[in-house]
């Protein structure tokens, strides 16, 4: 378990889903965690749930829309508790489905303003605070969608790819201030907000596409974030860590039919290699 005792951490979009999973793991590692989000009632409920995990945990919240720079600056100050903001988890983000020939400027602006500009504002103000206090760790939450084309998700794909480049730019610019900047790329994680939109067929397809054969959990993402925030990752910056069950491995359709011609069907059945290229939920 990483040791983040007495470190101050801010998690944007921390009231639900991946953000909440990150908050749990940071808290378990000893950090003082502040959740940020737009809905106060959701944040209050999240803090109450965190305290069921550890009643003595120093957790709190601040209402913040990351596209509003003044609110971001206020959230960073609140999470620093008069000292440094040691850890920023820039998790808040969203997507707008649509085809390129269909979407108007509002849909593009929504994704880019939230996923790229909002995250850039969080990096800016966290970085200014960390610069004053000798350094820190920033982790952005990206997506495997930033590396692969998904029809009906062009704006989200483009914004997450942009987010990863933003992370690399920030890693170079902020390294002189002892600030590390990395990204976690989650694979398929059926969070409470996302799961209701996923059909059983799509769930099977996404699960089958990952070599480890299961969907992820917010805790999977949180454990990777806690590591990157810790001294165990002290010489890691500018990196993208896929936490996706292997989903981002480029996979072609199986060559089982060719192997049968060479070795026979009995050998092919014996080894039973998966055909991840089908991506349809079948074994």
Structure tokens that stand for 215 in this block: 């969907």
**Given the residues 61, 156, 188, 263, the one annotated as active site:** 156
β-strands 240-243, 179-186 pairing: parallel
From residue 170, how far is each of 58, 88, 130, 136, 270 by CA, in Å? 29, 13, 13, 13, 49
156 part of the active site: yes
Structure tokens that stand for 265 in this block: 């069907």
Q: Which residues are catalytic?
A: 156
């Amino acid at each position: 378990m990483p040791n983040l005792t007495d470190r101050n951490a801010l998690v944007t979009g921390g009231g639900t889903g991946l953000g909440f999973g990150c908050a749990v793991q940071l808290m378990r590692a000893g950090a003082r965690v502040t959740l940020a989000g737009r809905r106060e009632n959701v944040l209050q409920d999240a803090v109450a749930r965190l305290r069921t995990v550890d009643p003595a945990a120093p957790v709190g919240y601040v209402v913040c829309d990351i596209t509003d720079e003044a609110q971001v600056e206020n959230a960073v100050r609140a999470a620093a508790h008069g000292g440094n903001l040691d850890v920023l988890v820039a998790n808040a983000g969203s997507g707008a489905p649509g085809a390129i020939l269909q979407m108007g400027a509002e849909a593009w602006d929504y994704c880019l303003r939230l996923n790229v500009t909002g995250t850039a504002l969080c990096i800016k103000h966290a970085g200014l605070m960390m610069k004053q206090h000798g350094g820190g760790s920033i982790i952005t939450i990206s997506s495997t969608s930033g590396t692969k084309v998904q029809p009906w998700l062009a704006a989200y794909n483009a914004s997450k790819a942009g987010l990863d480049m933003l992370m690399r730019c920030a890693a170079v610019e902020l390294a002189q201030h002892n600030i590390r900047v990395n990204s976690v790329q989650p694979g398929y994680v059926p969070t409470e907000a996302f799961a209701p939109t996923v059909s059983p067929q799509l769930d099977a397809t996404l699960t089958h596409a990952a070599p480890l054969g299961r969907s992820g959990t917010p805790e999977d993402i949180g454990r990777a974030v806690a590591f990157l925030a810790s001294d165990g990752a002290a010489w890691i910056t500018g990196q993208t860590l896929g936490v996706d069950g292997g989903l981002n491995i480029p996979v072609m359709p199986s060559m089982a039919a060719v192997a049968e011609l060479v070795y026979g069907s009995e050998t092919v059945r014996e080894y039973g290699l998966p055909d991840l290229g089908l991506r349809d939920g079948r074994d």
